[in-house]
Chain A
Amino acid sequence: MSAIGDAVRFLNDPLNWTRTNGLLDRLVEHVTISAVATVAAAAIALPLAIWFGHTGRGGGFTIALSNVSRAVPTLALLIVFAVTPIGFGNRATTIALALFAIPPILTNAYVGFREVDRDIVESAGAMGMSPLQVIARVELPLAVPAIMVGLRTAAVQVVATATLAALVGGGGLGAPIVLAFAQQNGGLALAAGFLVAVLALLTEVVLVLAARFVTPGPATRRFPRRLQMRTETV
């Protein structure tokens, strides 16, 4: 297939990587936007989840948010944001992506906190731990696997959604894909699609390894089975 040859040739040309707005620039842009958005979402969602999870409040809200967010197309929200004062461009994309990333982080962390055995929480209290100590030393460590599933889901989703931003004038690795479709250039489409797929898979792998690294206890401990499946893609 000539498109595959074209794609390999395109990726092998150093100039395609190093020129202004070349693949390297786009890659850096993509990773920066995604990282900032994910960290910002975590900074908002994790404290909320800890509060909700510890007190047992907000469960209905959290579940409803995650259900509704699945029905709303990310592309639609991205375009709706683009015509509001948020606008478009990299800053606006980052804000939109951060908003998309909140539901998965919030839901998984909340469920992780709620799944902590109540007996353990009660005995921690009986041992004289303050509520803050219970959160930091008992609930949080036990909820780490679930929190990491949420972060991974959010990060992969953000990396994927960041490509869609190119449809509304954004940068990142989606831009060469949009260009490829506009020029009907199969080789470029394959090459850029390959890079985006590799970036998404790498994000997944890195965060699986990070989860293994930060999870306390024996390394063989598995993730909670029913949290493993991500049910969102973009």
Chain B
Amino acid sequence: MALLASGATLLATDAPNPWFSPSYIQNNADTILAALRQHVILTVSAVVIGALIALPLALLARRSKTISAAILGGSTIIYTIPSLAMFAFLFPFTGLTIETVIIGLVLYSLVILVRNFLAGLQAVPADVREAALGMGYGPARMLVFVEIPMALPTFFAGLRIATVSTVALATVGVIVGFGGLGNILVAGFNNNFFRAPIATAAALCVILALAFDLLLALSARLLTPWSRGRS
């Protein structure tokens, strides 16, 4: 029995285990694409929901120092909690569902976004605001047509950081069973240290992060043509 076991181990380590294997990618294209799709869904929903919550929070934080101190303090605490612990906190209440992962990721993206949104809104020059006021802009019109456009570059900077870190964080969702490319990473590890899926998924994570970053950078350029002349 011992001999058999050691023989089997020898065979396993002798088998070719390349980092990149076109045949692995060909044979598992469906699995890889499904994981990639899940990763995109996790990232996009986390960042979009995070942004939808962050904007009103930033507007609220702008009104009083107490609220902004509470929001910024609370966000530091959330940001310090490791993702695995965050999913462990959510698990008893939301179970092994994709919602558990999304809620956790929303909390992290929210923290980055609310700070950037607040910084962007606060950086709108007071004289611009006064000029708009003098031209008869009410609070809502001022926000939509003056403040948000002026804060857009900062907003996009926040969205880029939040998206790139969400792509990286989403892999940890594997603990709940919904980790996108993280599922392939851990499966490769558990599958006798099969390198091809590990390398493929890791590379796809980086490519996905860079693709999102590029997309957001381009959108920012298109949406703020007036800032193009500046650095």
Contact = CB atoms under 8 A, between A and B. Distances in A.
Interface of A: 1, 3-4, 70-77, 79-80, 82-83, 156, 159-161, 163-164, 166-168, 174, 177-178, 180-181, 184, 186-187, 189-190, 192-194, 196-197, 200-201, 204, 229-234
B82 A76 contact: no
B88 interface: yes
A231 B91 contact: no
By Cβ-Cβ distance, the 4 closest A-B pairs, closest first, are: A193-B88, A186-B92, A3-B92, A160-B82
Contacts of B205: 71-73, 76
Contact of A189 (B80, B92, B164): B92
Nearest to B212: A71
Contacts of A79: 185-186, 188-189, 198, 202
Contacts of A82: 189, 193
B54 interface: no
B40 to A, nearest CB: 15
A82 to B, nearest CB: 6
A40 to B, nearest CB: 20
A75 B88 contact: no
Contact of A190 (B92, B182, B213): B92
Q: What does DSSP make chain A's interface, helix, strand, loop or mixed?
A: helix
Q: What does DSSP make chain B's interface, helix, strand, loop or mixed?
A: helix
Given A164-B84, A177-B85, A231-B165, 9 more contacts: A73-B205, A181-B176, A193-B84, A196-B84, A196-B85, A196-B88, A200-B85, A231-B112, A233-B82
A222 to B, nearest CB: 14
B171 A71 contact: no
Name the residue in A79, A160, A181, A184 with the highest tally of chain B Cβ atoms < 10 Å from its Cβ: A79
B145 interface: no
Nearest to A72: B206
Interface in B187-212: 188-189, 193, 195, 198-199, 201-202, 205-206, 209-210
B206 A197 contact: no
A233 B83 CA distance: 8
Contacts of A180: 88, 91
B143 interface: no
B165 A233 contact: yes
A190 B88 contact: yes
A70 B169 contact: no
B42 to A, nearest CB: 12
12 contacts: A75-B171, A75-B185, A83-B193, A159-B82, A160-B84, A163-B85, A168-B189, A174-B84, A180-B88, A181-B175, A192-B85, A233-B79
Contacts of A166: 84
B146 interface: no
Contact of B168 (A74, A163, A197): A74
B77 A234 contact: no
B156 interface: no
Contacts of A231: 112, 161, 165
B81 interface: yes
Given A76-B202, A79-B188, A83-B198, A70 B168 contact: yes
B96 interface: yes
B178 interface: no
B114 to A, nearest CB: 11
